[in-house]
């Protein structure tokens, strides 16, 4: 790893230079809501905001896009038309989410649509200010060592900048005058202090230890039926979750033509049709069954296979679910065998 | 890890269907058709290889894409055969398709039957209804490589004579002395069925003595069938990891990305569709909620 130092006042000039690589996108606040927007520069961004509504997965894997154009002669890939983007201000939990997506989409049977966007998107991370919904302290996603091109840690008077890839290094080389390598004892002490401060912000009251066993023991627990009665099957939890990757595919026919497009769009296991097969058999007909699948995947199956939960502790489900079903309430209810209203 | 891919890694598209020609099709029953398909590209047809128990994703432009199990055997190369029931938008369009028209196909996908492990063993196949679609692949494969396997027994159950798939083909196999074909219908409404009447489990009475530790069983049929067939197989003493079944799920990708076929940490498309009875017992949702919930055997 390479760590550099930058004066705070130089960030704006650096981001202006980075625009040469691609469109600059960052967190902005509109009507009290934080979203990633295309911006002209640092002044339009809100770097103090804790989380955006939708995680950065939407850049690597858009909510809806065209996979193929088809006609009588077959299917033609819709690849190569993605614009280059520099994403600034991505927090460690969301980069952990991207790493989980990478594992899925770039592993066996590499997804070319994800790969192209991943290749054309620079991830520039930024340290965060946790709030009471953050759980990164519990999911071990508070800090990040890989998956980004650059990572900026705010040290009050200056930035410590981690260089995570050759592309990140290329950005640094655009304005080498803004960075220096002269790190000293005070930087170590300062960074140690920063980590202590960050971890001390934890207000998380959840603990995922032993979850695979709790889920196994609780498979037939009436808690699932109670949660199922509350759940609206709206699927917002999946839209905002950095590790939800499920999608659906449909063909769109051009009017009056034997041509059209094959499109891919976000799906969720909360929808009734998710496990429905031809002939009408539904493997997960009840809301309780579908809810259990979502949480089993995140907190039991994923831990069983990869040794860590498919939850990066971002707190979006806590903020979003209209009926208060989230990783905290579900894991607590399952452990205590009691659903707090 | 830093993600830096080269061009080739981005261009290779596992989701792009290839054009295949439907070279022949005819009805097997009132609502099930038999199809033979071959890649339009001749080189690709010659390269085609697969394992019994695998499936493909088949597309009709404008209608969408769905998984279909392969009914043919790789020991008869050059084309794939499918047995398809008319039950949805994609399949109803497949029923209007004419010979020589093209469809999109990609694959084959899935683990298939563990053929290498099954070699040298006795093979007991149990098919109910549409279950003979994937199991015919295994049956023909064993017949084509007859000296590499032990005893071959095929139990086939159909609702009635009219709904029996591959009726002529299977009755003809009954003439051979290197395969034991046992067939039943649930009901013989016409009074013309010459063999056993009753559920497929009644055929177990005619099995004779089997050597359970040296036997691999392969089962496919409607969800209701599993519980009863499994009881019989476990009663015979066949080890649970040697009882195999091929399962159905909704799929949108076939390559472990879209999520629809997930069961616990497995994807039916890449980790299956062939699973063992032991997998089913320890992973509750493989054959549907409740089907194995209270079964300890």
Q: What is the pLDDT of residues B73-116, one digit of tens each?
A: 999 999 999 999 998 889 999 999 999 999 999 999 999 999 99
In what side-by-side order are the strands of the sheet with B18-27? B64-69, B55-60, B102-109, B18-27, B32-39, B80-85
**From A111, A167, A269, residue closest to B259, measured CB to CB:** A269
- Closest-CA residue of A relative to B59 is A251
- Closest-CA residue of A relative to B250 is A277
What's the pTM value of the predicted model, to 2 decimals? 0.92
Between B293 and A92, residue with greater pLDDT = A92
Q: d(Cα A77, Cα A156) in Å, to the nearest integer?
A: 47
CATH code of the domain made up of B248-297:
2.10.240
- Closest-CA residue of B relative to A73 is B19
With beta carbons under 8 A apart, name residues in chain B contacting A274: 250, 260
Which residues lie below 8 Å from residue A74, measured CB to CB, with a gap of 6+? B17, B18, B19, B102, B104
Instruction: Supply the pLDDT for residue B291.
Output: 46
Q: What region does A140 belong to: left with phi over 0, alpha with psi -120 to 50, or beta?
A: left
CB atoms < 10 A from the CB of B98, how many?
A: 7
CATH class given for the domain over B115-246:
alpha beta
Question: Which residues make beta-bridge pairs with B18?
Answer: B105
Residue B289 has pLDDT above 60, yes or no: no
Residue B169 has pLDDT above 60, yes or no: yes
Contact between residue B24 and residue B35 where contact means Cβ atoms under 8 Å apart: yes
CB distance from B252 to chain A under 8 Å?
yes
Mean predicted confidence (pLDDT) in B242-266: 90
Instruction: Supply the pLDDT for residue B1.
Output: 46
Question: ipTM of this predicted complex?
Answer: 0.88
pLDDT in tens, A207-218: 998 999 999 999
Kindly give the parts of chain A with pLDDT less than 50: none
Which CATH number among 1.10.760.10, 2.40.30.10, 1.10.287.3240, 2.40.50.140 corresponds to the domain B16-109? 2.40.30.10
Instruction: Supply the pLDDT for residue A277.
Output: 81
Q: Where in chain B is the domain with CATH 2.40.30.10?
A: 16-109
Instruction: Supply angle C-alpha A300, A318, A31, rounded to 5.
Output: 145
Residue B247 has pLDDT above 80, yes or no: yes
Kindly report the average pLDDT of chain B as a whole number. 90
pLDDT in tens, B261-270: 888 888 999 9
Instruction: Supply the pLDDT for residue B6.
Output: 63
Mean predicted confidence (pLDDT) in B243-267: 90
**Cβ B252–A249 below 8 Å, yes or no?**
yes
Instruction: Supply the pLDDT for residue B9.
Output: 58
Nearest to A305, CA basis, from A107, A50, A127, A123: A107
Residue B160: band (very low, low, confident or very high) from pLDDT cuts 50, 70, 90: very high
Residue B31 has pLDDT above 50, yes or no: yes
Instruction: Supply the pLDDT for residue B292.
Output: 45
Instruction: Supply the pLDDT for residue A218.
Output: 92
Instruction: Supply the pLDDT for residue B165.
Output: 94
Element (DSSP H or E) covering residue B169: helix B167-173
Contact between residue A286 and residue A269 where contact means Cβ atoms under 8 Å apart: no
């Amino acid at each position: 790893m390479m760590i550099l130092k930058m004066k705070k006042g130089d960030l704006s000039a650096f981001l202006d230079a980075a625009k040469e690589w691609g469109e600059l996108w960052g967190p902005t606040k509109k009507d009290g809501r934080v979203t990633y927007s295309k911006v002209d520069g640092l002044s339009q961004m809100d770097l103090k905001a804790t989380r955006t509504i939708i995680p950065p997965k939407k850049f690597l894997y858009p909510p809806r896009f065209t996979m193929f154009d088809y006609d009588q002669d077959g299917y033609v890939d819709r690849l190569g038309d993605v614009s280059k983007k520099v994403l600034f201000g991505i927090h460690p939990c969301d980069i952990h989410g991207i790493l989980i997506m990478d594992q899925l989409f770039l592993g066996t049977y590499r997804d070319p649509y994800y790969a192209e966007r991943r290749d054309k998107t620079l991830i520039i991370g930024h340290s965060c200010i946790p709030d009471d919904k953050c759980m990164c302290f519990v999911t071990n996603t508070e800090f990040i060592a890989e998956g980004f091109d650059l990572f900026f840690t705010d040290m009050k008077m200056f930035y410590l900048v981690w260089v995570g890839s050759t592309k990140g290094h290329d950005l640094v080389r655009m304005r080498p005058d803004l960075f220096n390598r002269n790190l000293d004892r005070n930087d170590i002490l300062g960074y140690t202090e920063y980590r202590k401060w960050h971890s001390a912000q934890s207000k998380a009251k959840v603990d995922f230890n032993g979850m695979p066993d709790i889920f196994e023991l609780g498979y037939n627990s009436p808690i699932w039926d109670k949660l199922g009665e509350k759940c609206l099957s709206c699927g917002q939890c999946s839209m905002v979750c950095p590790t939800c990757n499920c999608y659906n595919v449909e063909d769109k026919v051009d009017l009056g033509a034997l041509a059209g497009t094959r499109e891919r769009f976000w799906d969720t296991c909360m929808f009734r049709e998710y496990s429905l097969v031809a002939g009408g058999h539904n493997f997960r007909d009840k809301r309780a069954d579908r809810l259990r699948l979502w949480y089993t995947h995140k907190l039991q199956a994923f831990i069983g296979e990869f040794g860590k939960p498919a939850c990066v502790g971002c707190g979006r489900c806590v903020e979003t679910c209209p009926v208060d079903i989230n990783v905290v309430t579900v894991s607590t209810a399952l452990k205590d065998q009691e659903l707090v209203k | 890890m830093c993600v830096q891919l080269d061009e080739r890694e981005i261009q290779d598209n596992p989701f792009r269907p290839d054009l295949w020609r439907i070279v022949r099709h005819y009805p097997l029953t009132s609502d099930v058709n038999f199809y033979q398909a071959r890649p339009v590209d001749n080189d690709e047809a010659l390269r085609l290889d697969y394992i019994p128990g695998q499936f493909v994703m088949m597309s009709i432009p404008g209608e969408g894409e769905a998984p279909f199990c392969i009914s043919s055997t790789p020991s008869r190369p050059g084309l794939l055969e499918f047995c398809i029931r008319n039950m949805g938008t994609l399949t109803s369009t497949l029923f209007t398709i004419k010979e020589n028209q093209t469809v999109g196909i990609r694959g084959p996908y899935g683990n298939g039957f563990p053929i290498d492990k099954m070699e040298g063993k006795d093979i007991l196949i149990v098919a109910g209804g549409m279950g003979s679609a994937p199991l015919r692949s295994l049956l023909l494969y064993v017949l084509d490589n007859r000296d590499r396997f032990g005893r071959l027994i095929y139990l086939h159950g159909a609702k009635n004579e009219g709904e029996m798939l591959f009726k002529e083909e299977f009755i003809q196999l009954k003439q051979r002395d290197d395969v034991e074909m046992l067939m039943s219908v649930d009901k013989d409404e016409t009074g013309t069925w010459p063999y056993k009447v009753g559920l497929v489990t009644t055929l177990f009475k005619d099995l004779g003595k089997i050597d359970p530790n040296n036997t691999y069983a392969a089962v496919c049929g409607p969800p209701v069938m599993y519980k009863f067939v499994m009881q019989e197989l476990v009663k015979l003493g066949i080890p649970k990891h040697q009882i195999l079944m091929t399962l159905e799920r909704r799929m949108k990708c076939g390559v472990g990305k879209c999520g629809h076929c997930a069961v616990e940490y497995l994807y039916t498309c890449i980790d299956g569709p062939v699973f063992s009875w032991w997998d089913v017992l320890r992973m509750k949702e493989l054959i549907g909620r409740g089907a194995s919930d209270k079964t300890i055997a």
